[in-house]
Amino acid sequence: MLTCRFCKVYFFTERFRAEIYQGIQKAQETPLHDRIIEHPYRRILCESFPDRIVVEIIEELQAVHIVAVTHQMRHPDHWKNRL
């Protein structure tokens, strides 16, 4: 079986991307289900990776705005610097 560093990295990034899309889809289906970390921002935890997605639910537009994707070991307020 052929294994290469590029193949492993590609596989990892595809898994990570799928995990992020799954979290976004979850936020769209049940926008008020996730934990509020600071109004109006909510946190979605990834299942397979130690990351979280910070989203803002805009009810008037029925939209989900992705604010940040951060590692859970970072300071909890790290994403606020991205605003």
For residue range 21-56, list pLDDT tens digits in order: 888 888 888 877 888 888 888 888 888 888 888 888
22 three-state secondary structure: helix
Q: Which pLDDT belongs to residue 1?
A: 44
User: Rounded mean pLDDT of 56-62?
Assistant: 83
Cα–Cα distances in angstroms (integers) from residue 47 to residues 10, 11, 21, 57, 80, in the given order: 19, 17, 12, 21, 23
For residue range 66-78, list pLDDT tens digits in order: 888 888 887 777 7
Instruction: Name the residue with higher pLDDT: 68 or 8.
Output: 68
Kindly indicate whether the domain formed by 5-82 is annotated with CATH number 3.30.2310.20: yes
Every domain of the chain and the residues it spans: 5-82
61 three-state secondary structure: coil
pTM, entire model: 0.74
